[in-house]
Amino acid sequence: AVVSTQSTGFGAEYFKSDEAAETDLPKDNVDGGFQDRLKVVFSVQLACAYDVKDCVNAATAKFDAYRRDQDGSAEPKSEFKATILNTVMSKEYNENIESDWDWLWKKYTDDSTSANEKQTIYYTLKLIQDNNKLLKFSN
């Protein structure tokens, strides 16, 4: 599944369901690698925010792999982690979303979770489309 990002194609080769098939993000260098990386990250964020099917499918696959991960090998790239979590939690509410939210809540309340990770999860938890979960979160 490749992300369709309109005319420029930015993001498509960097964000796939199969991470092994992805191209590495551009590196910082004097030739503008930082800006190129930002373009890719922003393109993927927009594609997922606008529910581009391939982007949502890739984000969901990455989240599922992250959730099943036992050894840290499926940890999402830091540049895409918030996009992946936000895409999954902002879907229409269903039982899978509730289960995903509970998993993230457990991760958020775990003392071994880093402050940076907690900040990302904190924002993500608020996106669920369920009033009961939101009340639990706010109390």
Per-residue pLDDT reduced to its tens digit, 33-63:
788 888 889 999 999 999 888 888 899 999 9
- Residue 18 pLDDT > 70, yes or no? yes
> When comparing pLDDT for 139 and 65, which is higher?
65
Instruction: Give the count of beta carbons closer than 10 Å to the beta carbon of residue 104.
Output: 21
- Mean predicted lDDT score pLDDT of the chain: 84
Q: In whole angstroms, give the CA distance from residue 1 to residue 128.
A: 25
CA dist 27 and 114 (Å) reads 25
pTM of the model: 0.81
Amino acid at 91: K
